[in-house]
Structures are given as C-alpha cells and as structure tokens.
Chain A
C-alpha cells in the first residue's frame, strides 16, 4: 500500500484554488446582473453611464472604421479571382455583405474592442483598486459595483453592437472600393445587390452576439481590474488578462451563437 502513488497535496490546493476562483467569477457575474437589473433604482448613475458610452464609442470609432474598411477591401480583392473563374463576380456584393454582417463585422469589431476597451477598463479599474479608490467608495457607504461595473458593462453591451453596425458599413464601402479597383460598379447597384441578399436571420444573430461580446468585454475588464493585486505591476497584468481572456471568450460565444442560429434555421425551415 505504501508504494501506491499518492495524490500530491499541491494538486488538491491547486484544484481548490481553481474552484475558489470559479466561485469568485460566478459571484461577480451574479452581482453584475443584480446591479444591472437594479440600475434604474436610485442613486442613479446615468451620468457615468453616458460618460462611459461616449468614451467607449468615441475611443474605438476610428480604429473600427479603418479596420472594417480594410477588411472589406481585402475580402473583395482576395475573393474576386475565385469568383471570376466561375464568372460570378456579380455575386461579390452579396457574398461580402453576408460574410461581413454575419461574422467578420461582429468578430473583428469585438476583438478590436477587447484590445482597446477591455484593456482600458482593466487598467483603469485596476489602478482604482491599487490606489484604494474602490475601498474609499465602499467605506463612504456608496456602491462601487454599480458605479464602476454596472455602468461599464451596460455601456459596452450598448456600444459594441453600434460599433459593429458602423464597421459593417465601412466594410461595405471597402468592398465597393475593391470592386471598383478592378471593375466598375456604381454605389446604388452595389448596395441594392448587397441589401437584397440579406435577410433578418443574418442580422438578428449578429446583433445578439454583438451584445454578448460587449457584455463579455465589460465583465472581463471589470473583473480583472476589481481583482488586481496590490502593486502597480498588477495594473498591467489586469489589462493584459482582460484582453486575452475576453478574446478567448468572444470566440467561444461566437461558436455557441452560430451553432444555436444554425439549429434555429434548421428547425424553422
């Protein structure tokens, strides 16, 4: 019996720490939901919400526009030769619009926002933690969770879908530019073809997942900031982890929403 391999106490402590971390995340998310549902109750934090909405939208607008435009342009230029082989270049507006609205727009925008907004939230909230500003709110009998977390999560959930729509529009303009580099198509015809190929089922899941992506970016950024350590180094770690973790979760959420929308489409047909 003595020679049987024994589980290392290190494994137990690591497993325990893992589940403790999981419980912390679950508590954080449930508290976030609670504060979001109670957001309209006084004391109101609408000023902070509008400030965060402006900050998030305004901060990412140019980056989202440039990335969207280039993605649309590149997608068109790279798809054109393949479609040309089948004499189907007229399908370019439809192909680009569907792929952009369904997948490229939401995912690329969410990843940009994870990098830009998520890291910003992680660093800002992390530095508030390090400089005891969060504790100062707590001891003055105010609710830091509502002021810091709920406002940022709601702002992200509202602004990311709007940024996705903006990115989609820029992507379509990029595609129009790409088509006109090698051929000739006027704007009205391009948009008529692009819009005609789209259905409600293309927009709806994309918008749902954009809201979820925004929620993920806000929650992960705030969680990492709220749980930053004591030193200034932890601010950088919080910002970095916010980007890495939210990017990973964005892909998982994307996968789940795509699968669910496929199931829905199959059942409704």
Chain B
C-alpha cells in the first residue's frame, strides 16, 4: 500500500448542539481518488473544510502530509494550505478579477519572487489543462457554470498541490459537462499523481473517478470499499445510493 498523505482519527465536530461529525476516521493514500458519498447534511463538506482548517474540530486528530492540522498555528496552516488545493462547490471565483487575475492571485502572493514570464507560463499551462485558454481575459460573470468550475480547478492546480479536495464538483451541471469535469479530475490525477477527496452526490462521477468510496451517514462512516463492492452490498441503506 502506498504512503498515507492524510490521516483523520476520531474527529468530532459540532455547531452548537448539533453534532455534524461523530468519531470519523479515514486515511487518504498517495495518488488515490477517495470519493465521499452521503445524503445532504451528513457533514461531507464540513469534513474537507476541517481538513484545511477552515472549520475547527472539537476532538480527534488530523494530519496532512505529516503535519498536524488541529494544532497548527496561522503560519503552519498557511504552509499546509500551499500543498492542498480546494475546489468549492460554487467555484468561488473572485468576481472583480478576470480569469487570468484569478489564477495569478495566489501565485503572486505565495511565490513573491516569481518572474512575469513564469507567471504567464504557469497561468497558461493551468488553463490549457482545463481546456479554457480562450477564456483567459474573460470575467467570471461571462462564464457558464461548467466553465466556472474549470477555472476554479485551474486556480487550484496552478499552485501544484499534492492533495486536491473537491466539494461537489459536478453539482448543478448537465450530464455532459459533469462527465467532462470527471474526466478532468481523472486526467489531473494521472498527470500529477495527486491525491484527492471528492465529495459528491453524483453517482456517475463517483463511478468514474473513485479508487475507493466511503459512505457517511449522520456524521459517521457506515461503509467503505470500491464502487463495485458497495454497489453489490446487501445493506439497503448502502444500496440506496447506487439505485439509478
């Protein structure tokens, strides 16, 4: 088995009296795509937000690339985040900036000494990877939902992350665009050997991209396995996810 790049052990997270994650543990291995399935409100998005320190946890431990997340100070958290890409459900593009500026924004601030030619090269390369070089000077308001997701992905990979966290990458997209995004996730995994956690409801996307799947219910893991193993499960709850 390849090396672990992220390790979550017995985490608990709650908003007031509402417990979102309850004693959840999982590992992510180098170069694998781990899909997290679950109904809405089972804490899937909270899980990946906890992993990058956007949301604190009540109990448990989280390690990313050998560094503890829950005990990290601001600077240590910054170092962790440089190696972890995050694609938001809404893509979260900066509205006031063009596509080019969206990609240059993190690059200029993290690699403060980057030359103009390198900046251009990295921006163009990231946009070529998602097939959107033509949109380089467009504003986010001029892009469709699928294009926004792709630009969001380009902004994520421009920093060459070792881990990518996808928060419902295909939600709100038609089946053809969803398939294109799923293909993109796979091609990035193969090209850069990145490890990914993919939060999704979209079963075709899960089937297409997953090396391993875990299913969450009420903040706990209830099943783990490959797509085929889980699809053939006799458990009615697990099986309900795979009914088309």
Contacting residue for B108 out of A43, A128, A139, A143, CB 8 A: A43
25 contacts between A and B (CB under 8 A): A43-B108, A43-B109, A43-B112, A128-B95, A131-B95, A132-B90, A135-B49, A135-B88, A136-B86, A136-B92, A136-B93, A136-B94, A136-B155, A138-B81, A139-B81, A139-B86, A140-B81, A140-B86, A140-B106, A140-B155, A140-B156, A141-B82, A141-B110, A142-B106, A142-B109
Q: Which residues of A contact B84 (CB under 8 A)?
A: 139
Q: Which residues of A contact B95 (CB under 8 A)?
A: 127-128, 131, 133
Q: Which residue on B lies nearest to A44, using beta carbons?
A: B112
Tell me the complex Cα distance, A135–B79, Å.
Answer: 16
Tell me the complex Cα distance, A223–B34, Å.
Answer: 37
Given contacts A42-B112, A131-B92, A137-B106, 15 further A-B contacts (CB under 8 A): A43-B109, A128-B94, A131-B90, A132-B90, A132-B92, A133-B95, A136-B86, A137-B94, A140-B86, A140-B106, A140-B155, A141-B106, A141-B159, A142-B105, A143-B109
Q: How far is the CB of A120 from chain B (nearest CB, A)?
A: 12
A141-B54 contact given A43-B112, A135-B92, CB 8 Å threshold: no
Interface positions, chain A 119-177, Cβ under 8 Å from B, are 127-128, 131-133, 135-143
The answer to whether the Cβ of B78 comes within 8 Å of any Cβ in the partner chain is yes
Interface positions, chain B 81-132, Cβ under 8 Å from A, are 81-82, 84-86, 88-90, 92-95, 105-106, 108-110, 112
Q: Which residue on A lies nearest to B55, using beta carbons?
A: A135
Sorting the interface of chain A by its residue count into under 10, 10 to 19, 20 to 34 or 35 or more gives 10 to 19
The answer to whether the Cβ of B52 comes within 8 Å of any Cβ in the partner chain is yes
Instruction: Spell out B's residues near A (CB within 8 Å).
Output: 49, 52, 54, 78-79, 81-82, 84-86, 88-90, 92-95, 105-106, 108-110, 112, 155-156, 159
A15-57: CB near B (< 8 Å → 1, else 0) gives 0000000000000000000000000001100000000000000
Q: Which residues of A contact B49 (CB under 8 A)?
A: 135
Between B86, B90, B92, B94, the greatest number of chain A beta carbons within 10 A of the residue's beta carbon is seen for B92
Q: Which residues of A contact B159 (CB under 8 A)?
A: 140-141
Q: Which residue on A lies nearest to B167, using beta carbons?
A: A132
Q: How far is the CB of B45 from chain A (nearest CB, A)?
A: 11
Q: Which residue on A lies nearest to B80, using beta carbons?
A: A141
Q: How far is the CB of A128 from chain B (nearest CB, A)?
A: 8
Instruction: Spell out A's residues near B (CB within 8 Å).
Output: 42-43, 127-128, 131-133, 135-143
Q: How far is the CB of A143 from chain B (nearest CB, A)?
A: 7
Tell me the complex Cα distance, A69–B82, Å.
Answer: 53
Q: How far is the CB of A180 from chain B (nearest CB, A)?
A: 46
Cβ contact within 8 Å between B78 and A141: yes
Q: Which residues of B contact A141 (CB under 8 A)?
A: 78-79, 81-82, 106, 109-110, 159
Q: Which residues of A contact B89 (CB under 8 A)?
A: 132
Q: Which residues of A contact B155 (CB under 8 A)?
A: 136, 140
Q: Which residues of B contact A131 (CB under 8 A)?
A: 90, 92, 95
Shortest beta-carbon contacts, A-B, top 3? A136-B92, A140-B106, A141-B81
Tell me the complex Cα distance, A140–B107, Å.
Answer: 9
Cβ contact within 8 Å between B54 and A135: yes
Cβ contact within 8 Å between B94 and A138: no
Tell me the complex Cα distance, A131–B94, Å.
Answer: 9
Tell me the complex Cα distance, A223–B122, Å.
Answer: 35
Tell me the complex Cα distance, A132–B88, Å.
Answer: 8
Q: How far is the CB of A59 from chain B (nearest CB, A)?
A: 15
Q: Which residues of B contact A42 (CB under 8 A)?
A: 112
Tell me the complex Cα distance, A140–B84, Å.
Answer: 8
Tell me the complex Cα distance, A127–B92, Å.
Answer: 11
Q: Which residues of A contact B106 (CB under 8 A)?
A: 137, 140-142
Q: Which residues of A contact B93 (CB under 8 A)?
A: 133, 136
Between A42, A141, A142, the greatest number of chain B beta carbons within 10 A of the residue's beta carbon is seen for A141
Tell me the complex Cα distance, A120–B92, Å.
Answer: 20
Tell me the complex Cα distance, A142–B105, Å.
Answer: 9
Q: Which residues of B contact A140 (CB under 8 A)?
A: 81, 85-86, 105-106, 110, 155-156, 159
Tell me the complex Cα distance, A215–B183, Å.
Answer: 49
Between B54, B86, B109, B155, the greatest number of chain A beta carbons within 10 A of the residue's beta carbon is seen for B109
Q: Which residues of B contact A132 (CB under 8 A)?
A: 88-90, 92
Cβ contact within 8 Å between B110 and A142: yes
Q: Which residues of A contact B94 (CB under 8 A)?
A: 128, 133, 136-137
Q: How far is the CB of B112 from chain A (nearest CB, A)?
A: 5
Q: Which residue on B lies nearest to A51, using beta carbons?
A: B96
Q: Which residues of B contact A142 (CB under 8 A)?
A: 105-106, 109-110
Tell me the complex Cα distance, A230–B94, Å.
Answer: 17
Q: Which residues of B contact A137 (CB under 8 A)?
A: 94, 105-106
